[in-house]
Structure 1
């Protein structure tokens, strides 16, 4: 998670005096990075994934499941040459710390080759090894599970061993500081967010209404007087009818799946970034796995707004909110005594950069209205004007996104050959933020060789996408061996099984490869992506809602080019028969010439409940609202994202000598696996199989111990975790089939 350094972390009130220093040198480092890597043009399409695990202590005798907070030593062991590093090295695995002491992040040690079909199957094998290696370092009763959220996190006695919520870093009423990673960066980050903000974070999620639901968060203690902040839920922080959470751990203590792709050059990376942007809320909805927080069923399915709130360090003035009684509107900003509270007019107009008139910190940085948390969806496209597509229109960047004018001028005015308007605007927007953790030993850096100051800002802007420039290296370094221009895809929730996580990883990486090859125009206004992100939080949004998307007939693709490249392509390729045509032809029997699929297994014509297909259209006719089923699986006018992927597999990833029909058993086995990855995505989009969130919610609602009060008790939590284990390890046939559906479930059970 982000940048880890060794040294002495500064308290916010000390580090804030160095904020401008970090920004100034971070931008110098960024400019040097661009200068050093400007000539990279032919980098290979490489990619990798990040999987986050929770260590769960399961007590079968007591029927409890708790987060294990005393086994984090395995991270040291798996990175220590004298202990178990060999297990990681031998299996091409790398383990990293995450926010929670009970968390573990696993990645491949070396990236996958995006031009190798074998590597798309190897992904799952690598994930399996990560789980096996971590389990080998743990007692049998502690399992590394890929849960997006732990259902009873923040409830009494949810950790093993038990710890009380009395810690000074978070001052949480619910979470003990003992859940926080021991590295000094993490408790400092937790405390500094609170200190900069001027109060604790406040996350409020609507409670899922049931027959006996009180619509009241009765878990908030009324009689604690340990910290001044204990009174906050009673003076405006908590909302009636909502679950109230007050700590960074509720968000950064959840788990997700992230994918990073390397493009050939900076222009290709910018186009890929922009084209993936409208897909981020679609994949958030399609990967939904978080309907429970702090022991309550909530009236949403995903974690995103929780993490957003958990690291929201904006002050009252930056949020344009009235302060709590007795609290400073400027929070912990570095403001002189001459700046009185009365000097702030909440209705004050902003200039074009988002600055409030005549309000500056002591180091001269304008105080701004900042509409969003530093963990949120992207605010601007990068633009594809230097790429061959040139679809981007400046009007698409249509939301209020403040920028650091000083940074913009430094990049665009002094280095226009490196930073055009939109690229300069991107980084100037990121640099409205302050650095949150600064180590005293790292204040002064060599800007020709180091980029920690840049990463300090970059890595704490946690957005749905991250544009990642290459790092700085010594002169003479072979840059082709170092990571290049990359795009990180960040919105997806983690899934229970390695099969699912491999499926979602494959989908995004193969889709990125298809985007680069076919160059579709997916641009829609940023404001519509914002609306889609909110929609993606809804219960069962994948079936119940529609999403703004580029009109399917305006993708700059010819639908006829994708006829036949549906999921049945795998069967036709793997089984020679009377459908065999010429070398470059595709069998289309069973398809209409305009691409409508007939009698397909993927669920396009499923009887599952979905939104009616009458689409809302915008005024200009360039965007419409579609179901996720239409976007993923296509319709009569549009091939759907899956067919773009399958055409890439068929035309770019097959061995040249087997480009028409498969004659290799190994290749056939790999293709069958990839087919089922895509089938999982397709059937979740169509509603033929449930999302993880839908399945979890149903498990709670149908549990014999559930009292129809929206609360997830100790026994319900235990049974949920046990079911997750049995699905993860494919141990229970009935559960596996209820979770994966018959087709995918039977395939997985048969492939053991």
Structure 2
């Protein structure tokens, strides 16, 4: 969702000409220092956490056998938000927020979940409630539905939405200038989305260029080269790579959906520790949840969304991409502003921070001079190598002692696998960590399973004092492996061998080795006489056995962990593998990597039926029901009140 300040959006030219980029950078650093000094010793907070689910609105035309994205978010979002607006701060079970596209909405639970095990049993029930609230506002008789798809398979194909608008690549005053996606697909109910989208293009000096390897089937053209009928200036032809699917605007990335989580830690030290320990897990979680093998109507050789989004918001100039000598910019920047974590935050993590961190030494020293330790100062200074891409005229002159919008402006547009989040100004919210790599799944059962799995991982790490730290360069390699086709079964990932030791005398490279995801999740021998790896789920089971848990919650947890375990072992397919198999076995598929309108209709219809329980999918899950409930047991409530 990000920072959603309101006001008059400024163009990139206005931001640069008036020096607002540097103004926001300088004052954002001051605001962080003020936040840190005010809240670094904040007393212990309780564990609180929540999830964010992003939905796509879809219209199924059963008569014409076509599935299209439904541009209806601006119409229905106010109705979803009525309860909250009529009773602000009330007891609502659900909250609704705008998202990037006109066919997307985002939901969160009405209030955070707590530290009781019984709260894990309420997640799925709350997700079902949210989906029901959304579906009530759709005209199901006309084929309108809400799906938790990571990527709509024919986004960017002709007439992929209803209503349909023609792309206008010749309009330099437009937002996208895309050959494929019209500006009207952006959610225009909030100016932030259109503003930062256009500013990304303007700052970069050209359209973004997304190139994802095509899946080479037996009839796929070699080389695979697309032809663009409306590419009048030739920019698309120059940017498109052979044997790749080419996409040319932010909508191809931010028009995807995901599942995110945020944890409130006990204090700043625990938040930094959790941030570091979760960092090596992000590529594993990404591959485990793979759900997006199709882009712009083509099967690709990737199974996840990550690089698509990273390239879709890549505002680096040619100088920053090392295509031209540095002249007008300060740094060569290796990654897009959407990428994998670049630094550890805890003292133990410094040993494993082997990536050359690009930062302004002046900013870093300024932070350290004001009491920020070196590790955290380097992290913040690295985030602040980015320019602001969204400025509102009314939000420039702020009181740095009372506001943090300038800090959040840059913080919230650094979209990494994890986000370290200070408490907001004047709130009762503590230090938090946001986990961002999970691909959203079709059913509430699956989404709840992934959420509960990650929550239990954090508790297991803290309880058993596990150490998952490894070289960040290896984490980066894992992120690229995680995106490959069927990586969950075919790729090996670097992972720490001994999760109990803080450090050892051996070379740092010897602390980790290549493992399959099955070994990482379920445990098993490492080979070459290296012993056995315990497995994350067996460790979670040990943790669950030490905590008093009611029977329904324990049953639900076991079903969730079985889903994760069987996906890791290959007994069950990922959503990406299931979608790929659906397409390649379709009677209309010509083994040419093309997902036609009819194949897309049948695929999306099947997804809708699975979501609604009208179609079974034994390849995806053993069951879709748990003992989830909207309420925690009375006995647990009583125990909580006593505590």
Q: Does the alignment reach a TM-score above 0.5?
A: yes
What RMSD in Å do the two structures reach over aligned CA positions? Answer: 2.2
Equivalences for 1:581-592 in 2 at 5 Å? Answer: none
Asked whether the equivalents of residues 27 and 400 of structure 2 are also in contact (C-alpha less than 8 Å), the reply is: yes
Classify the secondary structure of the residue corresponding to 1:112: coil
Q: 2:524 pairs with 635, 640, 655, which one?
A: 635
Structure 2 residue aligned with 1:64: 66
Equivalent positions of 1:387-406 (< 5 A) are: 391-392=348-349, 394-406=350-362
Q: How does 1:153-302 map to 2 (within 5 A)?
A: 153-166=155-168, 168-182=174-188, 183-215=190-222, 220-225=227-232, 230-235=233-238, 237-302=239-304
The alpha-carbon deviation at position 397 of structure 1 amounts to 1.2
1:738 aligns with 2:624: no
Look up the match of 1:13: 13
**Corresponding residue for 1:673?**
556
Residue 71 of structure 1 deviates from its aligned partner by: 4.2
1:336-347 matches, cutoff 5 A: 344=325
1:440 equivalent to 2:393? Answer yes
Alpha-carbon separation, structure 1, partners of 2:437 and 2:419: 11
For residues 87 and 468 of structure 1, what CA distance do their matches in structure 2 show? 24
The Cα of 1:179 is off from its aligned counterpart by 0.7
Contact persistence 2:555–2:627 (CA under 8 A): no
d(CA) in 2 for partners of 1:731, 1:87: 37
Give yes or no for the alignment of 1:95 onto 2:41: no
1:485 aligns with 2:431: yes
CA contact (8 A) 1:77 1:85 kept: no
Matched, 1:368 2:367: no
CA contact (8 A) 1:100 1:253 kept: yes
1:610-629 alignment runs, 5 A limit: 620-629=509-518
Q: TM-score, normalised by structure 1?
A: 0.78
- Partners of 2:589 and 2:88 lie apart in 1 by 42
Q: Take 2:203 and 2:122, find their aligned partners in 1: how far apart are those partners? A: 44
Query: 1:568-587 to 2 correspondence within 5 Å?
Result: none
Say which structure, 1 or 2, has more relative contact order (CA 8 Å, 6+ apart): 2
What TM-score do the two structures reach when normalised by structure 2? 0.91
* Cα 1:747/1:75, change in 2 over 3 Å: closer
CA–CA separation in structure 1 for the residues paired with 2:295 and 2:156: 8
C-alpha displacement of 1:650: 2.1
Distance change (3 Å), C-alpha of 1:649 and 1:504: same
| Mapped contact 1:543–1:685 kept (Cα < 8 A) | yes
Displacement after TM superposition at 1:493 (Å) = 0.6
Residue 512 (structure 1) aligned to one of 458, 463, 485: 458
TM-superposed CA distance for 1:142, in Å, is 1.4
Work out whether 1:536 is the aligned partner of 2:482.
Answer: yes
Q: Distance in 1 between matches of 2:429 and 2:628?
A: 39
CA displacement 1:252-300 (0-9 Å, x = unmatched): 1101111111111111111110010000000010000010000000011
Partner residue in 2 for 1:556:
501
1:738 Cα deviation after fit: 2.9
SS at match of 1:144: strand
Change (3 A) 1:292 1:750: same
Q: Do the aligned residues in 2 keep the contact of 1:91 with 1:129 (CA within 8 Å)? A: no
* Inter-partner Cα distance in structure 2 for 1:295 and 1:215: 18
Query: What's 2:381 paired with?
Result: 428
Distance 2:106 2:89 in 1: 13
Cα distance change on mapping 1:438 and 1:750 into 2, 3 Å: closer
Where does structure 2 lack aligned partners over 5 or more consecutive residues?
526-531, 630-643
Range 210-219 or range 245-254, more displaced: 210-219
How far has the Cα of 1:554 moved from its partner? 4.9
1:379 equivalent in alignment to 2:342: yes
Q: Is the 8 A contact 1:88 1:133 kept in 2?
A: no
Aligned to 1:707: 590
The yes-or-no answer on 1:652 pairing with 2:598 is: no
Contact 1:70 1:161 in 2 (8 A): no
Aligned twin of 1:592: none
Deviation (angstroms), 1:461: 0.1
- In the TM superposition, what whole-angstrom CA distance separates every residue of 1:324-368 from its partner, at most 9, and x where no partner exists? xxxxxxxxxxxxxxxxxxxx3xxxxxxxxxxx5xx4x5xxxx610
CA contact (8 A) 1:77 1:84 kept: no
CA distance in 2, matches of 1:216, 1:483: 54
Q: Distance between the aligned counterparts of 2:179 and 2:591, measured in 1?
A: 26
The match for 1:564 is none
Provide, for residues 596-654 of structure 1, a one-character-per-residue CA deviation record: whole Å limited to 9, x for no partner: xxxxxxxxxxxxxxxxxxxxx98842110001111111125332111222222221242
**Counterpart of 1:614?**
none
Partner secondary structure for residue 22 of structure 1: helix
Q: Which moved more, 1:183-192 or 1:270-279?
A: 183-192
SS of the equivalent of 1:99 reads coil
Preserved contact between residue 127 and residue 498 of structure 1 (Cα < 8 Å): yes
Aligned partners of 1:513 and 1:287: how far apart in 2? Answer: 21
- For 2:605 and 2:85, the matched residues in 1 are separated by 28
- In the other structure, the counterpart of 1:682 is 565
Alpha-carbon contact 1:730-1:749 (below 8 Å) kept = no
Greater gyration radius: 1
Secondary structure of 2:587's aligned partner: coil
> Partners of 2:628 and 2:248 in 1: how far apart?
46
- The aligned residue for residue 634 of structure 2 is none
Quick one: structure 1 residues 86 and 450, their matched pair in 2 at CA, closer, same or farther if it must change by over 3 Å? closer
Return the offset for 1:685. 0.4
Aligned residue pairs total 611
How far is 1:686 from its partner? 0.5
Query: Does the CA-based 8 Å contact 2:157-2:296 persist in structure 1?
Result: yes
Is contact 2:124-2:628 (8 Å) kept?
no
In structure 1, the residue matched to 2:411 is 458
Q: Per the alignment, in what secondary structure is the counterpart of residue 629 of structure 1?
A: helix
State which of 728, 748, 751 in structure 1 corresponds to 2:611: 728
Q: CA offset at residue 517 of structure 1? A: 1.2
